[in-house]
Amino acid sequence: MILENQRYGRNKDTLVNKSYIESGEYKRKFDNATDNPNVNKSLYICAKNALKHRSGTELEDMYWLDNESGDVING
């Protein structure tokens, strides 16, 4: 039986450490991901959003970024 406070498909083994992904240490991992600071910032924001959104699931999010502007491209 699924506990009332758990959603179907939740997996405690895939929970994200939210305090870590909000930390400066995690953010600094993206500082030199590319030579473009705008792209680096977008990569960080997208990674953080995806991890928060899919924490506790075995599902994934995908983002497409413009490699010059760092803008998220909507398909």
**Separation CA 41–CA 65 (nearest Å):** 11
The 10 Å Cβ neighbour count of residue 37 is 13
Domain boundaries, the chain: 14-75
**Separation CA 5–CA 23 (nearest Å):** 28
pLDDT tens digits, residue range 9-66?
Answer: 678 888 999 999 999 999 999 999 999 999 999 999 999 999 999 998 888 899 999 9
For residue 59, the model assigns a pLDDT of: 87
